[in-house]
Amino acid sequence: MIAPSIPASAPPLQSSGFGAHWRERLDALLSLGRRSGADLVEVFLERTDHLSLLAEQDSITSVSPAFGLGAGIRVFLGRRDGFVSTNDLSDRGLQAALEQALGMLGLVPSPSAANAFAGLTKLRDHGLAGKGEWLLRCPTLAEASDRLLEGTARLEQHGRHLQVRRGSYSRDWQEVLVAASDGTFARDIRLHQSLGLNVLAADGEHRASLGRRYGTSDRPDALRDWDPEASALDVCDSVGTMLYADYVEAGQMPAVLANRFGGVIFHEACGHLLETTQVERGTTPFAEMVGQPIAHPSLTAIDEGGTEGAFGSLAMDDEGMEPQRTVLIENGVLRRFLSDRAGEQRTGHPRTGSGRRQGHGFAAASRMRNTFIAAGPHSPEALIASVDRGLYCKSMGGGSVGPTGQFNFAVEEGFLIENGKLTKPVKGATLIGEAKEVMPRISMCANDLELAAGFCGSVSGSIFVTVGQPHIKVDSITVGGR
């Protein structure tokens, strides 16, 4: 039975998607939640259109389209919350999801109780300025296939001893509408595209594998603008260098990490520890250290969502808040944590526009956006020149991170530093450490900050992020090898 507070004659989902025409339905739903005793009710509506392609050698071997439509409803009561998702956007479906979320907190729907909800504010529509045409402007399946195969063909042209050539492309379009009983009413359209090239080279007993990934947001022509020649030359040059590299000797030594994706170590080993999700769990060593030094004075770290075209940028977060530029660490001193709605309620750290989720099937959590170590005053050459014997990490590979910041990351492309100069390439290196020990040892930051696209998995699913840094020098770190 539909409660009288929700209009039975509400209009169906329109072909134009979400917008102000949803106000009456959402007002009624949020009102019912507040009347039932909830402190706050939030509704996240989502439409998605996904396409991914895989090219192996000179053939497209996988095409994966996917479409999504659904809602996530979250109810807060004190420090507790209940979350339910549904693909049924009818009045009955939304009310059923709300009632389940209320029930998780021991609340019973009370449509006749006093109404504590003042209504939604005017729609803040970030999905304008031509965003409605983005999906139509993206490359077709045929065009994307041709571009991807052009990339694998260039790998064959420029590479030697290549056993495997792979290219991958994904396009993710998303429309979201967020409404909450604090008056939040906001909509956005997002577009992310990413492309990767991966190779495996082999010559006798010598082996090397290497890849590069590129990603953008809000740029329909990104794949058309991609330069497959330059990317293939970059990949083939690096894998050719590493194919005959000697294995590195293990030990404790200084290291210089290159810019761009070198920032993945800060993201994984330290960035996650500065999310209020970790404060709630009691798994960050920095929980009580705001205003105290946690890193070398040379280091400043920032998280923001406004860099145009960056993979982690967004006009609003998944709780409807515009993203702030958040200085996490300033000259070595911890200044802020990244916080979402739940984080603010449970830890007291103010929201930073960092509430993010993979989709409507996940409740939002505090997550990073574009996270990077800020540029410093030195040249990259000065960092290398300051090392008598150590390791230069030109590109990083995969790794793992423990719950409190212990990490190990493979060095995909490395070189020895001897007497302040780069000498022979080395492979098999792994950087091993713990965030609270390594952060104070980052003593020099160069002036060549660059960003790189990546994907981050955590409690609210896999999301688009950017990592980054200039060249940085770590005075001492454990290097695993042979």
pLDDT-derived band at 115, boundaries 50, 70, 90: confident
What contacts 369, CB < 8 A, 6 or more positions away? 303, 304, 305, 312, 313, 314, 323, 354, 356, 465, 466
Residue 7, pLDDT above cutoff 90: no
Given pLDDT bands bounded at 50, 70 and 90, which one contains residue 10?
very low
Confidence of residue 356 (pLDDT cuts 50, 70, 90): very high
DSSP label of 419: T
Tokens 């212990």, located at residue:
406
**Residues with Cβ within 8 Å of residue 184, at least 6 apart in sequence:** 42, 120, 121, 178, 319, 320, 321
pLDDT at 68: 96
Do residue 227 and residue 259 come from a single domain?
no
Which pLDDT does position 16 carry in this prediction?
55
Q: What share of the chain is helix, strand, coil (3-state, %, to 5)?
A: 25, 40, 35
pLDDT digits (tens, 9 = 90+) for 123-153: 999 999 899 999 999 999 999 999 999 999 9
Whole-structure pTM value: 0.94
Q: Which stretches of 78-158 are assigned E, i.e. beta strand?
A: 80-86, 124-125
pLDDT at 393 over 90: yes
* pLDDT of 31 higher than 80: yes
Q: How far is C-alpha 20 from the chain's CA centre? A: 29
Is residue 339, in this structure, part of any structural domain at all?
A: yes
Tokens of 99: 């009632």
User: By the 8 A CB rule, do 285 and 405 touch?
Assistant: yes
Starting at the earlier edge strand, list the strands of the sheet with 301-304. Answer: 333-334, 326-330, 301-304, 370-373, 461-469, 450-458
Where are any strands of DSSP class E within 309-360?
Answer: 326-330, 333-334, 355-356
Are residues 221 and 301 both part of a single domain? Answer: no
Q: Are residues 365 and 241 in the same domain?
A: no
Backbone CA torsion sign across 430, 432, 438, 441: negative
DSSP H stretches of helix in 207-252:
222-225, 228-243
pLDDT digits (tens, 9 = 90+) for 228-247: 999 999 999 999 999 999 99
Residue 325 belongs to some domain of the structure: yes
Domain final residue pick, 229, 245, 261: 245
| 215 falls within a domain | yes
334 and 229 in a single domain? The answer is: no
Residue 476 has pLDDT above 80, yes or no: yes
Q: Based on the structure, what is the number of domains in the chain? A: 2
CB-based contacts of 140, cutoff 8 Å, min separation 6:
none
C-alpha 110 chain-centroid distance:
39
More confident residue, 407 or 111: 407
Q: Do residues 315 and 259 share a domain? A: yes
Q: How far apart are CA 360 and CA 250, in angstroms?
A: 46
pLDDT in tens, 310-352: 999 999 999 999 999 999 999 999 999 999 999 999 999 999 9
pLDDT attached to residue 13: 37
pLDDT of residue 89: 97
Q: Supply 381's token pair.
A: 């050459």
pLDDT digits (tens, 9 = 90+) for 37-92: 999 999 999 999 999 999 999 999 999 999 999 999 999 999 999 999 999 999 99
Does the pLDDT value for residue 2 go beyond 70?
no
C-alpha dist (Å) from residue 331 to 287, 372, 434, 442: 18, 14, 20, 11
- Report which secondary-structure segment, H or E, holds 142: helix 141-158
pLDDT at 223 over 80: yes
> Is 273 a member of any domain?
yes
Where does a domain end: 245, 266, 286? 245
Counting DSSP H helices and E strands in the chain, the numbers are 11, 23
Q: Are residues 239 and 256 in the same domain?
A: no
Lowest mean pLDDT among 13-22, 307-316, 466-475: 13-22
Q: Are residues 263 and 284 in the same domain?
A: yes
pLDDT confidence of residue 263 = 93
Residue 366: domain span: 251-480
For residue 412, CA distances in Å to 21, 238, 258, 426, 461 come to: 51, 9, 12, 9, 26
pLDDT mean over 300-304? 98
Whether 223 is covered by a domain: the verdict is yes
* Per-residue pLDDT tens digits for 196-207: 999 999 999 999
438 located within any domain: yes
Per-chain mean pLDDT for the chain: 94
Residue 421 lies in a domain: yes
Question: Do 450 and 330 share a structural domain?
Answer: yes
Q: Measured between alpha carbons, how far is 55 from 319 in angstroms, rounded to an integer?
A: 36
Identify the DSSP state of 65.
E
* Residue 372 shares a structural domain with residue 387: yes
Higher-scoring residue by pLDDT: 398, 285: 285
In a domain, 293, yes or no: yes
Pair 391, 471 in one domain: yes
- 276 in the same domain as 241: no
| Residue ending a domain, choose from 208, 225, 245 | 245
Residue ranges of E strands in 181-250? 185-203, 206-217, 246-247
290 and 324 inside one domain = yes
Structure tokens at 274: 């500065």
Relative orientation angle of helices 228-243 and 141-158, to the nearest 10 degrees: 40
